[in-house]
Structure 1
Amino acid sequence: MYEHHGHHSHCPRYRRSSAIMTTSGIKDSPMRRLFYLIDITVIGLLYFALDAATNAIAFSRNFRVDIIVSTLVKCVFLVFIWFWLQMRGDSVAVLGLKKPSNWLRSILFGVTAAAIIFIAVYLLERCGFRRDLSAFAPFKGNLELTLYQLGGVIIGAGFGEEYLFRGFLFQRLAMLFGGSKLGWGMACLIQAALFGFAHAYQNPLGMLLTGLIGLTMGLVFLGTRRNLWAPIIAHTLYDTARMVGFYLYGLPPW
């Protein structure tokens, strides 16, 4: 990953200044886990801080500008995560962002998961399960605004949220817990809870529902050998279908 300077091919994997520590070069397990904890804390707090800031700032009450700015902020944040991984001596491949062993399998998993989640949420809403989705009311009948939002959804949610929650946070949490099957199981539950908390604007029921969606995406991730493409496909398809529903019918239940 990094160009190696010097002629000793057997030296440890510290390929940068000793002031910047990499998880790959740390032999001591407690120290390595400390670095994972630091990663989780820094990236997690930064995400929620940026999310709160972008939601609190009004850009002349212009939804188009809001969507563009929010998407750009998320893109910068995703690049920052990439930079952070580089600093640690890792790559996005360790998060699962790599070519799947079987593209057809990943696509089928993604499409199936999206359909199951969409149907389950639809039935819950028809049965009276109410979330606060008032933020999506302006999209009804507004094609231009919906298209803007679809772009933001694909980049910021379909890709971005999977990259963060099922990728970075999931992997770091699992390694923090030792990387065992139990560790991955605990990490799956925690990342789902964090995903639900990130949707607090939808009220407690909304947090519960999105948490369950996050859990489902986590299981899809594990079921495709810890590859992010199936969850990315599922998330993108589900959110796209929901946006089409908001445009055609307004707020649920439909």
Structure 2
Amino acid sequence: MCGQNRKLPSRGERISIGQTSNGSVEVNGEKHRFLVMPRYGSDLTKFLEQNGKRLPEGTVYRLAIQMLDVYQYMHSNGYVHADLKAANILLGLGKGGAAQAYLVDFGLASHFVTGDFKPDPKKMHNGTLEYTSRDAHLGVPTRRADLEILGYHLIEWLGAELPWVTQKLLAVPLKVQKAKEEFMDNIGEILNDYVFRIFLIDSYEKRRHLSMCGQNRKLPSRGERISIGQTSIRSVPPWRPLTASFSRKNFK
């Protein structure tokens, strides 16, 4: 039907999918299914706990690129992950292994919506509440939802705090949903402010740019905590290398 002349596996035969293998075996008349996957290192949560819940800027960008690669593969095959979080990101083992991150736990993975956008009350608020997307709050799995979830993590990994977490709203999912909607409604202003205050490298050009825009803003000192919308973040020198290897030495 697919135009591919592939041999189907026999019952009980072991098959391989990438680096993962699965199959079944019969023991004392009882059939057992198994899944074998590579052994990975620690999850990202442990590194965050050891380093004040933030990561070096270059490491954050490297993580983002690797997670986007995972998303691209999943989305191109019709699935979304829907539950990215530090506990579901594992590092490799061995020499140089920690330079690669792996996304695991596909318990909430599902086909994404391609037709009409129809909220599903049975699936509302699925995922990890502080990070789940606005679409997931409505019970709809979408590709953009995966990207939104990653975005919330990038904010925290860079040292900021999510408003619905600081406001202690996690006990009420509907309040978290509303807070995210308000936050994302202002995302253009927030990103604009962030670009102005952090990513214009030269101080003179930064002041000149702000002056031309009619804005008399005080520039943040290196390492100073600043507020962007309802989010606060410690200012990072823009000349800091963005190509740092994603390895354990980055977390010391």
Between structures 1 and 2, the one with greater helix share: 1
**Higher RCO, 1 vs 2 (CA within 8 Å, ≥6 residues apart):** 1
Shorter-chain TM-score above 0.5: no
Q: TM-score, normalised by structure 1?
A: 0.29
Bigger CA radius of gyration: 2
More strand by share: 2
